[in-house]
Structure 1
Amino acid sequence: MRKLTRADVKDIIQYERIRNDFRARIIALKKARRVEVGPILTFVFENRDTVLFQIEEMMRAERIVQEERIAEELAVYNDLIPGANELSATMLIEITDQRKIKPTLDKMMGIDKGKKVWLQFGDERVYARFEEGHSNEVKISAVHFVRLKFTSQQSRRFRSGEDLAYLYVDHPNYKRRLRLSEAVLKSLRADLDA
Structure 2
Amino acid sequence: MQTLSKTDLMPLEQYAAARGDFRSKFMRYKKQRQFQLDDNIRFYFEDRITVQYQIQEMLRVEKIFEAEAIQEELDAYTPLISGENNIKATLMLEYPDVDERRIKLAERTGIEDTIWLQVSDFVKVMAIANEDLDRSTDEKTSSVHFLRFELSDEMVDAVLAGANITLGIDHPANRVSGVTIPLEILKSLRADLDNRVEKPFLQQLE
- What TM-score range do you get, normalising by the shorter chain? over 0.9
Measure the CA separation in 2 of the matches of 1:5 and 1:164: 33
- Which residue of structure 2 aligns with residue 111 of structure 1? 111
Structure-2 separation of matches of 1:91 and 1:12: 29
d(CA) in 2 for partners of 1:66, 1:164: 44
Partner of 2:134: 133
How many Å apart are 1:119 and its aligned residue?
Answer: 1.6
Normalising by structure 2, report the TM-score.
Answer: 0.88
1:136 positional shift = 2.4
Aligned partner of 1:10 in structure 2 is: 10
Q: Secondary structure at the match of 2:100?
A: helix
Matches within 5 A, 1:79-94: 79-94=79-94
| Cα drift, residue 21 of structure 1 | 2.1
Please report the RMSD computed on the Cα atoms of aligned residues, expressed in angstroms: 1.3
Partner residue in 2 for 1:185: 186
Matched letter for residue 185 of structure 2: V
CA deviations on 1:93-112 (whole Å, 9 max, x unpaired) are 11101111110001111112
**Paired residues, number:** 191
Q: Which moved more, 1:13-22 or 1:48-57?
A: 13-22
Q: Deviations over 1:37-88 (max 9, x none)?
A: 1111110000000000000011111111111111111110112112331110
Mapping of residues 59-78 of structure 1, within 5 Å = 59-78=59-78
How far residue 170 of structure 1 moved from its aligned partner, in angstroms, is 1.6
For the 8 Å contact 2:87–2:149, the answer to whether it is kept is yes
AA of the residue aligned to 2:129:
F
Q: State the 4+ residue runs in structure 1 displaced beyond 6 angstroms.
A: none
> Which one-letter code corresponds to 2:58 in the other structure?
M
Q: Please give the residue correspondences for 1:22-61 in structure 2 after superposition, counting only pairs within 5 Å.
A: 22-61=22-61
Q: Name the counterpart of 2:202.
A: none
Q: CA deviation at 1:8?
A: 0.8
Distance 1:84 1:182 in 2: 19
How far apart in 2 are the matches of 1:147 and 1:4? Answer: 19
d(CA) in 1 for partners of 2:120 and 2:45? 21
1:132-169 deviations in Å (ceiling 9; x for gaps): 411122232110000011111110101111x3321111
Q: Provide the residue aligned with 1:154 in structure 2.
A: 155
Instruction: Tell whether the 8 Å contact from 2:107 to 2:140 is kept in structure 1 after alignment.
Output: no
Percent of pairs with identical residues: 36
* Unpaired stretches in structure 2, ≥5 consecutive residues: 196-206
Name 1:120's counterpart in structure 2.
118
